[in-house]
Amino acid sequence: MAPERGGAETGSGGSEEAGKWSAGEVVERVNRYLLYGGRENYLHLCRYLLCLQEERQEEDCPLPQELPFEGMYFPEDGAGGKVCACWEEYAKELTARGEADVLSLPRAGLISHRSSWISDDLSVEAALSEEFRKRGIYLVCAFHSGAPDPAMKNHSLQELMDCFFRSAGLPVIGALVNLSVWGAVSQEGSDLFEETARLYREWNLPVFYPLVSLFSTEEMLAASREPLAAELPWLYLQPEMQGMTEPVLIACRDGKGRTQVLPGRAGHFAGRAARWMRMRGKRNGDKKVALILTMPSVPAWKLRSGRLTAWTPREHGRYSEASEGGRLSDR
């Protein structure tokens, strides 16, 4: 394949007819297919490369489809559905769909990564939307690219919150479900985690981070002693350092690598989130605080191996192990 053909001389001393493509045009067009992504763009990219190889007319190759990098969407529509640019447009779309009544319900927001939307892998978002709705809460869904870029009109985390989940300066949601570890842009003298936690405090909303395993299938989760150990940094540590809560495992991967919602887990998480939202509506004087002291359970593998683990007061909560099976040690 020789993309740059224009003006090449022929052996007879004449000039070959100007070529259809230049190298720069080819690179730019290929990059645009990859940049916008999605099934159709990838198929059109393959078709375009075949056109180059076979020197067919460029008109045979559809141009890259410019898909949004962020927006508000409806999980039931899938990747090809309506995408709204702001809360006001989203509210109008609800009215046009005959669902204006949901605007009177308590609302929670959800942010997921664009990769889930562009690949139409929205089983978690759809399941959460359904479970929240069962509890009288409407879930407002949005996606982002994770890369703020003014030139491409990609918002920062703060700008996205203002655009999607605020109206006239006031929040239109009572809680936020964040399915991606996306932080605020760090300021001088602070790191990403501190800045994101500060931003969440300013919102004065509970921010939830339900867990979606990136690698494990349901069978792997059931068979492993420590099924999420390899994913500890981004499933537990980073969200906690950013100020998010409720690390409830709700989904894993199926045999093809797509998201699979674990039975009953989306409902369990939605119930906990709903209780958080109800508690925020109570006066502080009506709230109760429960202090729970619990003894850690003994792992089954330690029982089988004859090694028991016990908590002893003299060690101030440390664990001690007995070398003799069946006998607890207080050393």
90 and 140 Cβ atoms separated by less than 8 Å: yes
27-45 average pLDDT score: 91
3-state SS assignment for residue 3: coil
Global pTM reads: 0.76
Stretch 249-269: mean pLDDT: 94
- Residue 295's pLDDT band, with cuts at 50, 70 and 90, is low
Query: What pLDDT, on the 0 to 100 scale, is given for residue 317?
Result: 39
pLDDT of residue 298: 55
Segment holding 159, helix H or strand E: helix 157-164
What is the average per-residue pLDDT within 243-252?
92
State which amino acid sits at residue 56. R
Which residues in the chain are classed under CATH 3.40.50?
71-286
Query: What's the mean pLDDT in 127-135?
Result: 96
Looking at residues 246-261, what average pLDDT do you find? 93
Two tokens, residue 65? 């489809």
**Euclidean distance between CA atoms 202 and 193, whole angstroms:** 14
CA dist 187 and 160 (Å) reads 18
Confidence of residue 251 (pLDDT cuts 50, 70, 90): very high
At the second CATH level, the architecture of 71-286 is: 3-Layer(aba) Sandwich (3.40)
The pLDDT score that the predictor gives to residue 7 is 39
Give residue 321's identity as a one-letter amino acid code: E
